[in-house]
């Protein structure tokens, strides 16, 4: 209604593009303006100067042929000193910036192996932003920030990678257990050797084999205590140089 009477209100953080007989005439800042339509003046449109954001999802393959989807948030705004370019150069700024970002990000992902994609996100963002800076400026837009918010792997590859990781974890866990058992056995053997040496010095008449039989008998008796706590019947027979234990669960 206001424009019908020649008055136009331009909102804050917005500029209006005024034309005269269909040709660019002037840029109107926020506020109220008189635009006499009867003299061929008209408002062709508005340019939003606020910070805006769009999300682009880039599906491509890495250098080592792994399918990934990189999700990036692009923050951009029209340049206050280039409203003419922002209004006339791009017919659909949001979609065209999105398309340009898609191509730029995918081009860099394709040059990297999967590990580097995760490790060099800052470099990817920096390179794309630098390329954007020069190109988008010609169209009257500024790329304020690019944020890689997620990197998704192909479903089948992710499942295979998780299975591979699980197998590696199991193998490593088994290896560590074997090392722990070996260290424990070595410690027992060292302790037993020291005990034999000390025992032989104190009792010269006792041989090493006699001492070993005594140690084994003592160990069997200690084990029997634990088994007896869980079993109703335990029979033990001692023979010359040997010990035999029979456990009966009733």
pLDDT in tens, 178-202: 776 777 667 766 766 666 666 666 6
Are 87 and 45 within 8 A, CB to CB?
Answer: yes
The answer for residues whose C-beta is within 8 angstroms of residue 143's C-beta and 6 or more apart is 74, 75, 76, 97, 129, 132, 133, 136
Q: What is the pTM of this model?
A: 0.60
In this predicted structure, the answer to whether residue 231 has a pLDDT above a threshold of 70 is: no
Are 6 and 36 within 8 A, CB to CB?
Answer: yes
Mean pLDDT computed over 77-102: 93
Are 83 and 25 within 8 A, CB to CB?
Answer: no
d(CA 121, CA 159): 23
For residue 75, the model assigns a pLDDT of 93
For residue 233, the model assigns a pLDDT of 53
Percent of the chain clearing pLDDT 70 (strictly above): 64
As beta bridge partners, residue 246 has 235
**Beta-sheet strand order (sheet of 141-153):** 52-61, 67-78, 141-153
Point out the least confidently predicted range of 58-72, 173-187, 200-214. Answer: 200-214
Q: What angle do CA 115, 116, 122 make, to 5 degrees?
A: 130
Point out the least confidently predicted range of 13-17, 225-229, 234-238, 240-244. Answer: 240-244
Higher pLDDT residue, 210 or 122?
122
Point out the least confidently predicted range of 18-27, 125-134, 223-232. Answer: 223-232
Mean pLDDT computed over 151-158: 76
Alpha helices by DSSP H, the chain? 83-88, 93-109, 114-119, 121-138, 155-202, 208-230
Are 33 and 79 within 8 A, CB to CB?
Answer: no
């Amino acid at each position: 209604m206001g424009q019908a009477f020649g008055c136009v209100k331009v909102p804050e953080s917005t500029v209006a593009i005024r034309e005269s007989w269909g040709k660019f005439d002037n840029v109107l800042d926020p506020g109220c303006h008189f635009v006499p339509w009867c003299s061929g003046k008209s408002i062709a449109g508005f340019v939003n100067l606020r910070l805006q954001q769009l999300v682009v999802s880039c599906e491509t393959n890495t250098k080592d042929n792994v399918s990934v989807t990189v999700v990036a948030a692009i923050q951009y705004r029209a340049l206050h000193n280039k409203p003419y370019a922002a209004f006339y150069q791009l017919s659909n700024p949001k979609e065209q910036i999105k398309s340009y970002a898609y191509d730029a990000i995918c081009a860099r992902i394709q040059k990297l192996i999967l590990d580097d994609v995760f490790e060099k996100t800052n470099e990817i963002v920096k390179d794309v932003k630098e390329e954007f800076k020069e190109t988008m400026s010609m169209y009257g837009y500024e790329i304020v920030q690019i944020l890689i918010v997620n990197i998704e792997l192909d479903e089948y590859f992710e499942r295979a990678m998780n299975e591979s990781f699980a197998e590696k974890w199991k193998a490593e866990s088994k290896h560590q257990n074997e090392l722990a058992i070996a260290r424990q056995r070595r410690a027992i053997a060292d302790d037993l050797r020291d005990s034999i040496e000390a025992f032989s010095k104190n009792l010269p008449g006792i041989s090493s084999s006699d001492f070993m039989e005594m140690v084994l008998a003592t160990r069997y008796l200690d084990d029997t205590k634990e088994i007896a706590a869980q079993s109703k019947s335990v029979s033990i027979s001692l023979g010359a140089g040997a010990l035999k234990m029979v456990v009966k669960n009733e």
